[in-house]
Structure 1
Amino acid sequence: MHLVPSLLSLCQEAGQAICRHYYAPGDVEVKSKKDDSPLTRADLDSHVILRDGLKALSEDWPVLSEESSSEHKALRHAWSRFWMVDPLDGTKEFVAGNGEFTINIALIDEHRPVLGLLYLPLEHLAYVGLPGHFARRYALDNEGSWSYQSIATQPLQPDSALSVLVSRRHRDAKLRSCLDWLKTHWGEVERRNSGSALKFCRLAEGSGDFYPRFSPCCEWDVAAGQAIVEAAGGVILGLDGQPLRYNCRPSLLSPHFLTIAEPDNALWQRYLADHCK
């Protein structure tokens, strides 16, 4: 709880650095990393601000960022508590100019996200979750002050379309099969596309029912969202039906997962029985 004001200020600073590049004509120079994902100066500037700020905030907790060196990432299995950061989640959306990008910060403790923050630089909004304590949406006003509202996931409405949040750029066979199953067992399904970790924000604030992910992403793409969704009343489960755990595998790739707003609903119990082993 005491960390939240400092984290908000840090995200505001990193967000300003990102926006300077976003709004500067011709300033978005794109390079490709080894995995062919894009890298911009905005990613790197945000990384430096967040890395240095988190180190100053908590010297004993290492910082694992998407833009950390491979040598630094190799040390992670010795860490029981650390920050997991994506300094610019949704770089493709940043380059495309559609505004759908976030800053992701999670505090991992014994393989679980115990605090998550997702910051939307263009909207000056932050979603913060401490599982077991609170989920909030913070807004920055023109005077530089933060205010907040509590947020929560919403139950399914029997006579309404099922709102399924999906990644704008992914249309795989598993997703199509999932949507077909939902149409058979629920009825009307509304597919809502968006980029980056925004889908976690929408679900946590009650604007979505389900977010399945069957395409590749990394742990820093998911960890902050998991903390926020859990704090708001939902769950993120792997295809084994168990909550995701972090820093447990040789790679930093995330397993496929299901984000569920109302986990006790019979629809999801049936889906898990049919699809999770």
Structure 2
Amino acid sequence: MAISDPLALQVLAIAKQAGDKIMEIYDRDFAIYEKQDTSPLTEADLAAHNTIVAGLEAISELPILSEESADISWDERKTWNQYWLVDPLDGTKEFIKKNGEFTVNIALIDGGKPVMGVVYAPVLKKSYIGIVGEGAWTETVDGINAITAKPHQPGEVWKVVGSRSHQSPEIKNLLDQLDGDTELVAMGSSLKLCLVAEGAAHLYPRLGPTSEWDTGAAHAVALAAGADVTVLDAADPLNSDAEPLTYNQEESVLNPYFLVSA
């Protein structure tokens, strides 16, 4: 199994380079940092951001919107049709806790829709690559494998991606509407969307704040794997006519609530 798209392979290489920069800092003893120093999180974020921006600028002339350079005016952004959407380090709690569930995220957005995405988890040494219309894959030390979202089958336990901690009333309302037993699958960062993409979960309802760079890359992977990512109405969470989640359509870079479903 091989990924033949040269641009996707270049972006994957850039994400891994950024991951290497993060790991140099992640492997240090955080206790050695003095208060006046930059935090290890800030240092890792900026190192990854700089690596990604340099890498993308070497292969593309498209504009870049990154969490670390998000102060681009709406007047400028609204003229963009294609651009790179980057979160150099998603999963700050996971990074600080050192549980390994943080990611590097690079997405190509075209006409408000994610068309290609790479999600790289440096500690797990696992990459997710999605090219909408072509397919989605994981890459690990064991090689590259195609992935597809798996719809829920009658009689199956619903596997729902959720928080390790508190479940909101809105999430409980959604779970109550499902026909059958449910099992919560906990995961950090953008890997939550990837669980649905690779068939490890059926649903990921997000009823909390996220920004566009948090989701763009994994959204592309989910779409490429055959999943849907739709705007979620807390009052009617399983609405089959929900609108698809889109990007760069207004000044705010905050996402509405959304549902990832197989």
TM-score under structure 1 normalisation? 0.83
Residues 149-188 of structure 1 aligned to structure 2 (within 5 Å):
149-168=145-164, 171-182=167-178, 186-188=179-181
Quick one: structure 1 residues 136 and 69, their matched pair in 2 at CA, closer, same or farther if it must change by over 3 Å?
A: closer
Contact conserved, 1:12 with 1:124, CA < 8 A, in 2? no
2: distance between equivalents of 1:73 and 1:250?
A: 5
SS at match of 1:75: helix
2: distance between equivalents of 1:30 and 1:237?
A: 44
Matched residue, 1:211: 204
Quick one: structure 1 residues 113 and 193, their matched pair in 2 at CA, closer, same or farther if it must change by over 3 Å?
A: same
Identical positions, percent: 42
SS at match of 1:236: strand
Matched residue, 1:57: 59
CA RMSD of the aligned region, Å?
Answer: 2.1
Quick one: structure 1 residues 161 and 42, their matched pair in 2 at CA, closer, same or farther if it must change by over 3 Å?
A: same
Quick one: structure 1 residues 69 and 221, their matched pair in 2 at CA, closer, same or farther if it must change by over 3 Å?
A: closer
Deviations 1:116-160 (A, max 9, x none): 11111112211111111111112257xxxxx41111011213222
Quick one: structure 1 residues 9 and 117, their matched pair in 2 at CA, closer, same or farther if it must change by over 3 Å?
A: same
1:23 aligned residue (17, 22, 27):
27
Task: Tell me the amino acid that sits aligned with residue 113 of structure 1.
Answer: P
After TM superposition, give the deviation of residue 39 of structure 1 in Å.
5.1
Quick one: structure 1 residues 150 and 69, their matched pair in 2 at CA, closer, same or farther if it must change by over 3 Å?
A: closer
Matched residue, 2:236: none
After TM superposition, give the deviation of residue 195 of structure 1 in Å.
1.1
Residues 35-74 of structure 1 aligned to structure 2 (within 5 Å):
40-59=42-61, 61-71=62-72
Contact conserved, 2:74 with 2:251, CA < 8 A, in 1? no
Quick one: structure 1 residues 243 and 173, their matched pair in 2 at CA, closer, same or farther if it must change by over 3 Å?
A: same
2: distance between equivalents of 1:235 and 1:53?
A: 30
Deviations 1:141-189 (A, max 9, x none): 7xxxxx411110112132221000024466322112212222xxx1210
Matched residue, 1:75: 76
1:202 aligned residue (187, 195, 199):
195
2: distance between equivalents of 1:28 and 1:109?
A: 43
Matched residue, 2:6: 2
SS at match of 2:159: strand
2: distance between equivalents of 1:75 and 1:68?
A: 14
1: distance between equivalents of 2:75 and 2:205?
A: 29
Structure with higher RCO (Cα < 8 A, 6+ apart): 2
Contact conserved, 1:129 with 1:231, CA < 8 A, in 2? yes
Matched residue, 1:138: 139
2: distance between equivalents of 1:3 and 1:181?
A: 42
Matched residue, 1:114: 115
2: distance between equivalents of 1:64 and 1:228?
A: 19
Quick one: structure 1 residues 72 and 97, their matched pair in 2 at CA, closer, same or farther if it must change by over 3 Å?
A: farther
Q: Point out 4+ residue stretches in structure 1 off by more than 6 angstroms.
A: none
Contact conserved, 1:29 with 1:40, CA < 8 A, in 2? no
1: distance between equivalents of 2:163 and 2:213?
A: 16
SS at match of 1:40: helix
2: distance between equivalents of 1:232 and 1:181?
A: 25
2: distance between equivalents of 1:250 and 1:47?
A: 22
- The yes-or-no answer on 1:148 pairing with 2:136 is no
- The yes-or-no answer on 1:251 pairing with 2:252 is yes
Quick one: structure 1 residues 22 and 249, their matched pair in 2 at CA, closer, same or farther if it must change by over 3 Å?
A: same
Structure 2: any 5+ residue segments left out of the alignment?
234-241
SS at match of 2:30: coil
Quick one: structure 1 residues 258 and 71, their matched pair in 2 at CA, closer, same or farther if it must change by over 3 Å?
A: closer
Quick one: structure 1 residues 189 and 117, their matched pair in 2 at CA, closer, same or farther if it must change by over 3 Å?
A: same
2: distance between equivalents of 1:30 and 1:233?
A: 47
Contact conserved, 1:90 with 1:102, CA < 8 A, in 2? yes
